[in-house]
Structure 1
Amino acid sequence: MSRSVLVTGGNRGIGLAIARAFAESGEKVAVTYRSGEPPQELTDLGCLAVRCDITDPEQVEQAYKEIEEKHGPVEVLVANAGVTKDQLLLRMSEEDFTSVVDTNLTGTFRVVKRASRGMLRARKGRVVLISSVVGLMGSAGQANYAASKAGLVGFARSLARELGSRNITINVVAPGFVDTDMTRALGEERRAEIAGQIPLARYAEPAEIAASVRFLASDDAAYITGAVIPVDGGLGMGH
Structure 2
Amino acid sequence: MARTKRTSPVKPPLRGRIARIALRTVIGFVALSLFFVILYRFVPVPVTLTMLFDGNGITKDWTSLSDIDPNMPRAAIAAEDSKFCQHHGFDADAISKAIRFNEKGGRIRGGSTISQQTAKNVFLWQGGGYVRKAFEAWFTLLIEALWGKERIMEVYLNVAETGIGTYGVEAGAIRYFNHGADRLTPAEAGRLAAILPLPKKRAAIAPKGFTRRYGNIIARRIGVVRREGLDSCLK
Q: Into which bin does the TM-score normalised by the smaller protein fall? A: under 0.3
| TM superposition score normalised by structure 2 | 0.24
| TM superposition score normalised by structure 1 | 0.23
The structure whose Rg is larger is 2
Q: Which has the higher helix share?
A: 2
